[in-house]
Amino acid sequence: MLDFSIISELQIPKIDLSNIEWPRFDLSRIRWSQIPKLRIGDSVAKLPIVQGGMGVGISLSGLASAVANEGGIGVIAANSIGMLDPDYYARHRDANVVALRKEIRKAKEKTSGIIGVNIMVAVTDFHALLMVAIEEKVDMVFLGAGLPIKGIPVEELRSARVKVVPIVSSARAAGLIFRSWLKKYKDIPDGVVVEGPKAGGHLGFKEDQIDDPDFALERILPDVVAEIKTYEDKFRRAIPVIAAGGVFTGADIYNLFKLGASGVQMGTRFVGTHECDADIRFKESYISCREGDIEIIKSPVGMPGRAIGNKFLKDVSSGEKKGIKCAWKCLKSCDITNAPYCISLALDNARKGVLEKGFAFAGSNAFRIDEIISVKELLQELQKQYLCAEEKGAGRLRSEYEKALEKLVSLKEEYLIGVSSLKDEYEMGIEKGIATLREEYLRSMDKIRSLKTKYVKAVDDANFLKKELIELFERYSLFNRLNTEEI
Ligand SMILES: Cc1cc2nc3c(=O)[nH]c(=O)nc-3n(C[C@H](O)[C@H](O)[C@H](O)COP(=O)(O)O)c2cc1C
């Protein structure tokens, strides 16, 4: 007999929906309206905005202290700062050291906020300027125009609590600096500025990369963030990535934060402030320029640069050689015999407003500046725009989230329906299975029964035949015997 108890023992799978965690977020606990602070080592800026160092003499103690007073990070540009001294050509490199020390002290008198110094690795007195920053205990140094790897006095920097922030234009450069520091100094820098090709001043890109979308800030920033992340994990220390180049509005800041930036560095916008240390004619050249006036130049430093085109630059590019008075080859890579002009002198002239004998470095957005405002106004405007962008972003996020929740609810319902119909089908399936099996069994039993009848009948027939045969045989034998006896 078939055993149907096996089938009834089969278990219907039990899925306990109460065990499934459906995400529940409390949106009301998220604070949407606050611009994030920027922490670099032990310095915390109320605003995540670094005023980019601008040489020669564009960002000195005036601009840097104004930015620091408003909660940003103010930066004094150190390169050729000695040109402020009328005796520069007599005192050259010493003038730089003296002027930098003086500007740092002046800035510190005007603010208790965060002050940094920007030093180009490419300048001949890089080390001497770095030592001044250490001795004057500035909060941090921003090191660009070259890789700050060799001869960095890390111990002195650490004991003076001066944070180090290299400026790079690629994840590769960032990786190289961090790897080398780790190997050489068993330490890593405290942050990174990643400067994209829309920036003003010297650019860390080849000319054909400047307009290539693959090198846009929005492309290189996430790569730098990813590169730095490995060091953050290893050292269990936050290393902010600060985005620079073409940052103009608070919405730009918001968008860069979405791509992983923890802060921004801005130069061009700070030129359009009352506090910027350049002559008013320098600032006015920003206000009067149009988009098409901003051009890429070949700097004697050996890097491309972005500036507002003028007669001086036109003369130079058509082959004219300007008078050069070189004090002491202030730039390591400057080929003074072949250079058509002295870049430090041209920039210093521009700072003084003598644009016929120089030119203004400027970011690609300089043409958008149409008035000079205070640093306070600028930073308030940027914050307002940031919060507005964040609110819009948050609104978008909230509606996306709500849509996702609705979808989740309908998915849950679908799932529940699915599971219960599966259960029904399964049970039905089993019942159907049993029923089919039972029918088959009964059919087989009928078949067997008819077969048995047929067989029994066949056996009966055979027995009958056998009996008849025996009788026949017996009758035949008797007949034979009788006949023989008669013969
Ligand atoms: C007039 C000017 C001078 C600059 N000088 C320097 C400099 O001496 N060292 C440096 O690392 N960057 C320099 N920069 C770059 C800025 O620090 C900053 O990173 C850049 O301007 C950011 O781009 P943005 O101008 O579009 O905001 C300069 C930029 C300008 C506009």
338 burial via Cβ count (<10 Å: 0-12, 13-18, 19+): exposed
Instruction: Give the model's pLDDT for residue 193.
Output: 98
Q: Considering the domain boundaries, does residue 211 fall inside one?
A: yes
Query: Any idea which residue has 């964040």 for tokens?
Result: 390
Confidence of residue 457 (pLDDT cuts 50, 70, 90): confident
Tell me how far the alpha carbon of residue 362 lies from the centroid of ligand 1, in angstroms.
7
In a domain, 332, yes or no: yes
| Helices 61-69 and 375-486, packing angle to 10 deg | 60
Average pLDDT over residues 471-478: 62
d(CA 170, CA 56): 25
User: For the residues 148-155, what does the mean pLDDT come to?
Assistant: 96
| Residue of minimum CA distance from atom 21 in ligand 1 | 267
User: Is residue 423's pLDDT more than 70?
Assistant: no
218-228 confidence digits (pLDDT tens) = 999 999 999 99
What pLDDT is recorded for position 102? 97
Q: Which CATH number does the domain housing residue 255 bear? A: 3.20.20.70
- Residue 53 CA, closest ligand 1 atom number: 17
Domain enclosing residue 63, as ranges: 33-373
Query: Does residue 144 lie in a domain region?
Result: yes
Nearest CA to 383 out of 105, 141, 61, 35 is that of: 35
What CA–CA distance (Å, rounded) separates 317 from 300? 12
From ligand 1's centre to the CA of 242, what distance in Å? 14
Give residue ranges with CB within 6 A of ligand 1.
52-55, 58, 77, 79, 118, 120, 144-145, 167, 195, 198-201, 244-247, 265-268, 361-363, 365
In a domain, 471, yes or no: no
pLDDT band for 10, please (50, 70, 90 cuts). Answer: very low
Place of tokens 């940003």: 72
Distance 203 CA to ligand 1 centre (A): 9
Residue 44 reports pLDDT greater than 60: yes
Highest mean pLDDT among 206-215, 407-416, 417-426, 432-441: 206-215
Q: Does a structural domain hold residue 445?
A: no
d(CA 233, ligand 1 centre) in Å: 31
* Count of structural domains within the chain: 1
Tell me the Ramachandran region of residue 144: left when phi exceeds 0, alpha when psi lies from -120 to 50, beta otherwise: beta
pTM given for the model = 0.80
Evaluate if residue 242 carries a pLDDT over 60.
Answer: yes
Is the distance from CB of 299 to CB of 331 less than 8 angstroms?
no
Question: Is residue 366 over pLDDT 70?
Answer: yes
Is 210 within a domain? yes
Highest mean pLDDT among 294-303, 342-351, 393-402: 342-351
d(CA 220, CA 259): 10
The percent of residues above 90 in pLDDT, for the chain, comes to 65
2 band by pLDDT with thresholds 50, 70 and 90 = very low
* Sheet strand arrangement including 294-298: 201-202, 304-308, 294-298
**pLDDT 10s digits, 248-261:** 999 999 999 999 99
Q: Could you tell me if residue 161 is inside a domain?
A: yes
**What's the whole-number mean pLDDT along residues 417-432?**
69
- For residue 195, give the ligand 1 atom closest to its CA: 19
Cα 244 to middle of ligand 1, angstroms = 9
Distance CA 86, CA 185 (A): 40
DSSP classification of residue 373: B
Q: What is the pLDDT of residues 248-302, one digit of tens each?
A: 999 999 999 999 999 999 999 999 999 999 999 999 999 999 999 999 999 888 8
What would the mean pLDDT of 358-387 be, rounded to a whole number? 97
**Residue 235 falls within a domain, yes or no?**
yes
